[in-house]
Amino acid sequence: MVSSGILPTQNLENFMKGMRRLERRETLAHWPVMDIQTGEEVGLVTNLTEEGLQLQCKRRFEKGQELAIQIMVDEKVVKTDSISLVIRNVWCRSGGKEGGFKAGFAIVDISEKDKRNLNNLINAFSYLA
């Protein structure tokens, strides 16, 4: 049998669970993510950890592609209107019934201040999936 190199969704989910060092945390709100370079919206955060995030997005990302982004958040929650970081794409696939794409990213660079704000956001607006 010849393999296409594409894992069925169930196998991909199991594989990704094995790769993940932290439990996936679903978000209670979906924050817009902006590309710092272009000013365009990249997508919406659908889950978040200290090491990475998943986006619901309109376009496909290539594995390894890096982006400098801002997560646009409520100032009342984290005392800032955005959290800036650099992310690297780990996987991207069809978004299913929601349309577009779902993409997983690893955080590769974040300031200490933004890391504290990110942790405050995670603690206030996410739960273990």
Delineate the domains of the chain, giving CATH numbers in brackets: 9-128 (2.40.10.220)
pLDDT tens string 63-112: 999 999 999 998 777 788 999 999 999 999 998 877 899 999 999 999 99
Pairwise CA distance, residues 83 & 63, whole Å: 23
Which residue in the block uniquely carries the two structure tokens 């309109």? 58
**Residue 11 and residue 9: Cα distance in Å, rounded?**
6
Q: Determine how many CB atoms are found less than 10 A away from the CB of residue 46.
A: 19
Q: From CA 8, how far away is CA 115, in angstroms rounded? A: 34
User: Is the CB of residue 65 less than 8 Å from the CB of residue 88?
Assistant: yes
Q: Write down the pLDDT at residue 1.
A: 38
Give the predicted TM-score (pTM) of the model. Answer: 0.77
